[in-house]
Copies of this chain bind each other. A is one copy, B any other.
Amino acid sequence: MASIKVINPNSNTVVTSAMSEALEPLRMGGGPRIDCVTLERGPLGIESQADVTAVEPLVAGAVQADNEADAFVIACYSDPGLHLCRELTGRPVFGIAECAILTALSRGAGFGVISILPGSVARHMRHLRERQLQHLCVGDRPLGLSVAEVASGADTLRRMQEVGQALRDEDGAEVVIMGCAGMARHREPLQDSLGVPVIDPTQAAVTMAVGAVALGG
């Protein structure tokens, strides 16, 4: 049976569980198995360039040690180790930031990103520029919360709604991307309140991985 390995590079199992639950609709009969794993030695959240650098060899190790998965998804919005993993394996490797952006562009002309911390924004912009897609991002606004708070906090949804409204109304976003894998459980209520498509990056990447694996790609 074909399978997709979704790697959560942080060590927060609350994030991994919420992510796996959000992927449930993509586990379909005859489709690939979707396995979510936690990198135990990763930081609790990836909130700096130092965190990114620290997890890149761990992500690469998880890919290299796996002889079974038909495709890999790196489930952190900084796409740590994406180019490295592609260098190390011939099997498809998807970054959730990259896939979220591409999926958003299938639904509207300009997208906005809800980030966790102010320090995330410059990192996201560097990645967007590297992909030559920065002109399609109309705004990237931070919540001012940690990854742990985002995944568990009671007030997170209300704050995401505020930021999402600013992206939609002030920046003109036609689609909103949740810029952290730990935001998964908020997608549906956020989309209902904003009235524009809201993209969960892990769902976006796993959708593309399901397609690639199902189609032999």
Contacts and interface: CB of A to CB of B under 8 A. Distances in A.
Interface of A: 25-31, 48-50, 52-54, 56-57, 60, 81, 83-84, 87-88, 92, 94, 98-99, 102-103, 105-107, 109, 122-123, 125-127, 129-132, 134-136, 187-188, 191, 197, 200, 203-205, 207-208, 210-212, 214-217
Q: Assembly of this chain: how many copies? A: 6
A55 to B, nearest CB: 10
Contact of A208 (B29, B106, B130, B134): B106
A28 B25 contact: no
Contact of A87 (B50, B84, B103, B215): B50
Contacts of A125: 109
A103 B203 contact: no
Nearest first, the 6 closest Cβ-Cβ pairs linking A and B are A29-B29, A207-B211, A28-B28, A130-B130, A102-B102, A25-B214
A188 B216 contact: yes
A98 B106 contact: yes
Contacts of A107: 92, 212
A99 B109 contact: no
17 contacts: A50-B87, A50-B88, A92-B197, A98-B106, A102-B105, A102-B106, A103-B211, A105-B131, A109-B122, A109-B125, A109-B126, A127-B130, A132-B136, A188-B216, A191-B217, A200-B215, A210-B211
